[in-house]
Structure 1
Amino acid sequence: METRFGIKALLKNYSFGDFIKDITIPLIVSSVLVMLSIYKKIDTLVLLSNIISLALEIVPALFALLLTAYLFLLTFFQAEKLQNILGSQKGKELYLQLNANFALCVLVAIIALSFSLTIYFVLDLGLCCIYADIINYVAIFTLSLFLGFLVKIQFDIAVDLYNCGQTIVL
């Protein structure tokens, strides 16, 4: 029996092709950031600390904004006029895609926040390691990838919300 709930359903509505499309630009930007920091011989600890500070300021606010927008979306789709839109296959696909984008963005925000907090606490411990630069570069790459992915998905959500708004005039 196929379910409409859970991670499997989310991944069904957010395909691997969608993931590749959404991750490409953040992957390129993160790679360039790491390559430039290696080329410029930037202190990885300082760069990582700056990215962590940025992430800990942005991600919680983004998370709150996402949850608020998602609540509005769910309320929006309860309107009587929009029930007609959900009666068509295209309307259902639009709703499922938007729902999947929101859910994925919330999940990525949770992962990014958890990752940021973990790195913050590890940095605060002041641990030293001979592989510190390599570990820092991996953390810089991963965190910038999460942040870039969140921004890219936000863009997709904005377009999907616009598309929903456009359906009202039809």
Structure 2
Amino acid sequence: MDKPESRFGWKIVLKNYGYKGILLDSGLPIFISFVLCVIMSWKHADILLQLKVLVGVGISIVPSMVALVLAAYTILLTFFFSDKFDSIKNTDNGNKLIQDLNSSFAACLFVSTISIIVMITISSIANMDIEICKPNVVNYPAYFFVCYLLVYSVSILLGIIEDLFNCGQIITLEK
């Protein structure tokens, strides 16, 4: 007898958000991170100092962003339980929109939380002043990764904004 597939958890988030969504949302962060690393190398910038600055920026904005996303998601959930969304929930397209929106919010919160953990860890390590034979071998990948996570955390909001707009359009078109 087959085990029934759960409709909850990270597997469902990944299924709804999809690898295609991850790849599409990764394009801009990878490009920006790569360009910034090239510029840092070309200008012979102190990459450790730049890493510390970038981590500081990330630590100062990503937690606020998480709070804002959680607040927006909470407000959206109240709309899901309203009478306006009853007709939407009963259609295949409406149900898909709600699942996509849920997955987008979950993915955004997941990436943002990972970003905070990584940035706190890298900040702690960077402030230990550990001597490394070839520091650029460590600092450039760390800079790229932090930059990627920070830009990804911000750029993924574009998908959420689009999904929220689509929800608003459905409500207005229903009249």
Q: CA deviation at 1:18?
A: 1.1
Q: CA deviation at 1:97?
A: 0.7
TM-score, scaled relative to structure 2: 0.94
1:72 aligned residue: 75
Residue 161 (1) aligns with residue 164 (2): yes
Letter in 2 for 1:142: F
User: Which runs of 5 or more residues in structure 2 are unaligned?
Assistant: none
- The whole-number CA distance in structure 2 between the counterparts of 1:75 and 1:81 is 11
The structure 1 segments of at least 4 consecutive aligned residues displaced by more than 4 Å after TM superposition are none
Over residues 21-61 of structure 1, what are the superposed CA-to-partner deviations in whole Å (9 max), with x where a residue is unaligned? 11011111111111111111110111001101100111110
1:118 aligned residue: 121
TM-score, scaled relative to structure 1: 0.97
Residue 107 (1) aligns with residue 110 (2): yes
1:143 aligned residue: 146
Q: CA deviation at 1:69?
A: 0.9
- The whole-number CA distance in structure 2 between the counterparts of 1:144 and 1:75 is 34
- The whole-number CA distance in structure 1 between the counterparts of 2:122 and 2:154 is 21
1:61 aligned residue: 64
Over residues 56-83 of structure 1, what are the superposed CA-to-partner deviations in whole Å (9 max), with x where a residue is unaligned? 1111100111111111111111111111
- 1:167 counterpart SS class: helix
Residue 22 (1) aligns with residue 25 (2): yes
- The whole-number CA distance in structure 2 between the counterparts of 1:120 and 1:35 is 22
- 1:168 counterpart SS class: helix
Q: CA deviation at 1:131?
A: 2.6
Aligned length: 170
- The whole-number CA distance in structure 2 between the counterparts of 1:79 and 1:13 is 23
Letter in 2 for 1:134: V
- The whole-number CA distance in structure 1 between the counterparts of 2:108 and 2:84 is 27
- The percentage of aligned residue pairs carrying the same residue is 35
- The whole-number CA distance in structure 1 between the counterparts of 2:136 and 2:110 is 28
